[in-house]
Amino acid sequence: SQYILNLIKNIYFSYYNVLCTVPDDRVSSRRNLDIPEALDTLERCYRLLASARPIRTPLSASSNKSTPPHVLGRFLKRQVFDLIKYRITKLDHNLFDVIWPAVKKLPDNRNVVQIVEEDFPGGVTAPDYYVYEVFTEFMTPLIKDLHNININSDFPQHPISDFKKNSLLSESSQPLVEINIDSGDDFVLTGTMECSRNLSGFELPLNLKIGKLEFVERIITTVLMRDDFARIIEQLSPESDQKGGSYYTLNEILEKPSEICAALAATGVLISLCEREEIDDCNRLHGKQWPYGRGVFVSDDKTVAVWINVHDHLRVVTSTPADAPGEIGLTFSKLSCIMTYLHEKLDFVFDEKLGHLSSRPTFLGAGIRFSLIVNFPGLSKDIDNIKHLCAVRGLQYRETLSPDIARISNYQCLSITESNCFNDFVTATSNLLHLEKDVSMQNSAHITTMLSNIFRRKRSSLADIHDIEKFQAKTN
């Protein structure tokens, strides 16, 4: 009967996993998941993802038409699922702890939904570093897809961070670079840049107890409150009167009302936060100790925020100037100076293939994310077209409450340096804004038809880029 066949299959895979557990295994718990309720939950999750899997053309993460269930369903096939569903990491995390952002029914609360979507856009999370190896049959091809890397090729070695290489240089050899991709302030509304890192010798914040959380907090804040860091902050904004910054605990940020929280929101460096009562499974999102042992260092002008122990040990967020939201050159220069200093003072966990490890698989490698809120009055008239354009240029397109306004950000930060990642982002966004300007100024049926022909072709980024460049040359 089918019941007996399933039983034999489960016994086989259980035995297989036991055989795969070797004495020098330092990443798994060296035991199998044998809780019936947990296995039943995983089976329901698999059926949900399998039902979301596209029947014909599989959707990659960068298609801008896919949802997290689409992406995960593409890689969590039955053979892979049966192989890894019994595994547990050395910190007792199973497969559900990895895929819950894509399968969990979230409360009808926009704050919670926004947190999950922004921090885990691929629908997966890493509750500990070991999931990347314990569930490698699933995680490796998924990570490649999330970062626009050919899933059939081997992972190259991740290059040494530019921030680490810059630490060998003098401060005078790192001039600020001015690049404004929207000098007329016509389309870009706001911009932010984030870089995340985790300290060597510590588990991710999700798994740390109070003592270790406070220890990590103390290590980082000691560096941030030093006089030489204050001088760096002062030099980055010489026109202001700032002399450094202040540190606030997360309790101070979450209290209502909170002046500092409002100030961070106004300058764009407030990250999405979630209070315990907003989600019934907050431990899975933040750990048992939330919000203790967490906080944020804020520069005096409120344009730099260094978040501590929120998903990752360290998250540096900078924003573009309010009077020049397209000035991403100076913003990246500011981020680079700060990260170069932190690389000199702190030791960060690093994997030769995955680069700087993160609790968020989309932040592996360089651990960097560039985001712009852009008004597209012309291109947004055909959402499918602009999504396709973003996809072939390596940009993630996320709609906002307004149909004309979207958040665009980079996909890839793995197997690439921070500066190369930034240069690719500058090229892609500049091209996008140039097209928007052409459409807005000329507004001709000929332009609309040509754009449609370019965008609707089968995905081939090189061919599309050549056609777009020819089109721009004709319209200039």
- Identify the residue whose tokens are 């540096």: 316
- Residue 185 sits in which domain range? 162-387+395-417
- Predicted confidence (pLDDT) per residue in 407-446, tens digit: 999 999 999 999 999 999 999 999 999 999 888 776 555 5
- Predicted confidence (pLDDT) per residue in 55-102, tens digit: 666 778 877 777 888 889 999 999 999 999 999 999 999 999 999 989
172 and 103 inside one domain: no
228 and 366 inside one domain: yes
Burial status of residue 259 (CB atoms within 10 A of its CB: 0-12, 13-18, 19 or more): exposed
265 and 365 inside one domain: yes
Task: Please say if the pLDDT value at position 177 is more than 90.
Answer: no
pLDDT at 463: 40
Nearest by Cα to 306 from 329, 335, 332: 335
Task: Please say if the pLDDT value at position 327 is more than 90.
Answer: yes
State yes or no: 372 annotated in a binding site.
Answer: yes
Beta strands (DSSP E) in 182-311 are 188-197, 245-249, 295-299, 304-310
DSSP designation for 60: P
Task: Please say if the pLDDT value at position 382 is more than 80.
Answer: yes
- Predicted confidence (pLDDT) per residue in 109-134, tens digit: 666 677 777 778 788 999 999 999 99
142 and 169 inside one domain: no
State yes or no: 315 annotated in a binding site.
Answer: yes
State yes or no: 284 annotated in a binding site.
Answer: no
Q: Which amino acid is at 391?
A: A
The CATH number linked to 57 is 1.10.135.10
State yes or no: 370 annotated in a binding site.
Answer: yes
Q: Which amino acid is at 183?
A: S
Task: Please say if the pLDDT value at position 172 is more than 50.
Answer: no
pLDDT at 273: 81
State yes or no: 213 annotated in a binding site.
Answer: no
Chain-centroid distance, C-alpha 402: 23
State yes or no: 363 annotated in a binding site.
Answer: no
Rounded mean pLDDT of 170-188?
A: 79
260 and 120 inside one domain: no
State yes or no: 30 annotated in a binding site.
Answer: no
State yes or no: 193 annotated in a binding site.
Answer: yes
> 457 vs 435, which has greater pLDDT?
435
- State how many domains the chain has: 2
